Structure 1
Amino acid sequence: MPLALQATLPDELARACNIDVTDARRIVSLVHRTGNVPERSPATIRRAALDAARAAGHVPSIRLESRAASAIDPFVKYAFRLPDGAVIETVRIPLEHPGRFSVCVSSQVGCALACAFCATGRMGLGRNLEPWEIVEQVRRVREELVASPPESLVAAGVRPRVHGVLFQGMGEPMANIERVIHAIRVMSEPSALAIDMRNITVCTSGLPTGIRTLLREVPQVRLGVSLGSARPGRRRALMPIEGAHPLDEVLAAAGEHARATGRSPMFAYTLLAGENDADEDAVALADLCRSFAEAHGQRPRLSLIPYNAIADGAAPDPFQPSTRLEAFRAVLLGRGVGTIVRYSGGGDVGAACGQLARPLLRKPGKRLPVDSEPTAR
């Protein structure tokens, strides 16, 4: 099988083609800048090396199906069609510093974990994404930023760039962890996308083995954990993964990550009216955060997320946004736990947290979670 060159590291390419690693770095850089391997060799790359790379590999592509820019904020959602016809969604997120963007990427077609408040969870699992399909999402967004930067940045003389990556698009990253890790290594390679691993965050609904693998292989990467609820019975109703891997087990793995890296995990909590927004829910959440800090020496960064509607016309929206955000925060603060409220943009184009979804081309796969890698295509 030919190498997908946009997901091949320079040392891998050098070994596979028996070429000098300097030439390999330049070829990788060329692929990431142009999206192809030219017929004629640039002056900086030996022709024999380029011919060897062309013989050993190729540059597969994903097709832009649609692009939707929010009318209310600078978020942009992309739908990419994969070679087998499946469609995934990716979001370009503006950061506070002008010209810096993060890319929220998908790691699977659909998702098996069936979190009740997530549109992707309604899809079931199609398949895992290959490393190049993950990398290509970021490369394509970067390519557009370079070719067609936002007018406001042009006027200000600011050059845009992809500063970070967030694995919180379609799919459970920890269920495709080996491919995700390979993609992260390529993204952070200086001759490829050159994104600092410390600006890459991998979020999980709760697969402890994946968390430990992430720690072992790419400890610089940040960790995010979706909580749903701090009360086990309520969490299981919202997130079926609780039945296979109770939250205590997930937090133990997250604690290992925090102790080893010295970095606080991000805890994400989506507020749902009448489901997890009562004072007793806030008390349980505060106790959980304080216990984690006491046990592992790192205070988690707690992010409250307003619920974003996921009605798709086929089924009614099961939840409503909470009206108790400030009251909920007050209870947390009263127990010594500070929070941030995550601005989840692009809601008018279905780009906000929990809204990413596309119809599968075939029947959904298994919906109940297991702590192992689902079957690839």
Structure 2
Amino acid sequence: MSQKILHVENMTMQFGGVVAVNNLSVDVNEGEIVALIGPNGAGKTTAFNCITGVYEPTNGRVDFLGQPMIRNHPQGKMIKNYSGQNATLYTAHPDLSDPDALAAIEAAEDQETRSVLQAAYDKEQADRTEALRAADPHAFSDHILRPTPDRITHLGVARTFQNIRLFSALTVFENVLIAKHMRAKQNVFSATFRFNRAEEKRMQEEAMSLLEEQDLAHLKDEVAGSLPYGLQRRLEIARALATQPKLLLLDEPAAGMNPQETQKLTDFIHKIRDEYSLSILMIEHHMDLVMRISDRIYVLDFGKLIAQGTPAEVQNNPRVIEAYLGVADDAED
């Protein structure tokens, strides 16, 4: 069985009373290309922002390579508005009592019966608590993990953005070299006084090698902002690869591309997945690309997961068709 690279469990993101992502659970296995799709405003990019530490989710957990990476629970007024699952799981003193069972104990006719029922109830509560703790070592605590985006990148998660975010005034080479510094084996002191010139040379060589692998070496001295749109998108992906990720998140990589560029992108994504042993989670509106490239698909609508499965399963799902196309009014007889 392939390793589970990313595990998102019961993730909810609320902005005041607005639930942008509602109780989302997603898995990405080793070597998979998984798509997260849905209409505009479905919560896809918000989910990416929670996974990468841009937003602090209201509730839920994100595991990366089997280890908790992000974990939170509803706090303050958010508890009142929270509509996801497991709210009590993430509090230090949860109420797991069973009112019906307690009422039965209270109504027992004699002390012996009451003692038997109480013992059974206590064991059931203990078993339930143990099961929840087995699922989450930090259950029933206020333990919260809130890593910043740079720390998440250092763990091995990289992303691109719906709107390309290059250092547009820098060269192609400089854009990739900056990303290589995420893996630099030096401290601020040695970097400031340039004591570790061997390390600096290594990063420059690796940045150049990456550009050669991605057929961008001939553009190394070009200003990034002057490149055609398709090449800017490839450069952004190359810069993400420079951080040596195990998981790559692509936010609408085909946005603004023509059919020929989209086909080249399809081949490019397959290539980097195989060459860099990547797992990929992708947001995309080009359904032809999604159906060709994805191993599995998750579908969001108004922040809720409404379907998941293989491309064949998803494209024939009535709820997915309804979310994208709406339901036509019944024709009058």
TM-score of the alignment, normalized to the shorter chain, above 0.5: no
TM-score by length of 1: 0.29
TM-score by length of 2: 0.32
Between structure 1 and structure 2, the one with the greater Rg is: 2
> Which has the bigger relative contact order, CA under 8 A and spacing at least 6?
2
More helix by share: 2
